[in-house]
Amino acid sequence: MKQLHEFDPVDIRRLVDREGWQKPLPEVRRVQLTGRQQTVFWGLRLYVVVMTAVVVWAFLHGAAG
């Protein structure tokens, strides 16, 4: 595999220009979620907390016995 310094600088510049890597990235904004989407995300958070508690309990229960 070639190293970066082994490529022709003109080819690299052409690639950068063609791919648009010099352009600034578009602005990122927060999206307002609907009530249903917020409910789903809170449900996912609750699920993660419950599953973490189950894993910790199972680990401690298994380690003690």
Query: pLDDT tens digits, residue range 18-35?
Result: 999 999 989 999 999 999
Residue 20 falls in which region: left (phi positive, over 0), alpha (psi -120 to 50) or beta: left
d(CA 1, CA 45): 44
**According to the model, what pLDDT value does residue 55 have?**
96
Q: Strand, helix or coil at 5? A: helix
In this prediction the pTM is: 0.54
Per-residue confidence at 14, pLDDT binned at 50, 70, 90? Answer: very high
pLDDT at 65: 63
Note the pLDDT tens digit of each residue in 39-53.
Answer: 999 999 999 999 999
Spell out the alpha helix ranges (H) of the chain: 9-19, 35-64
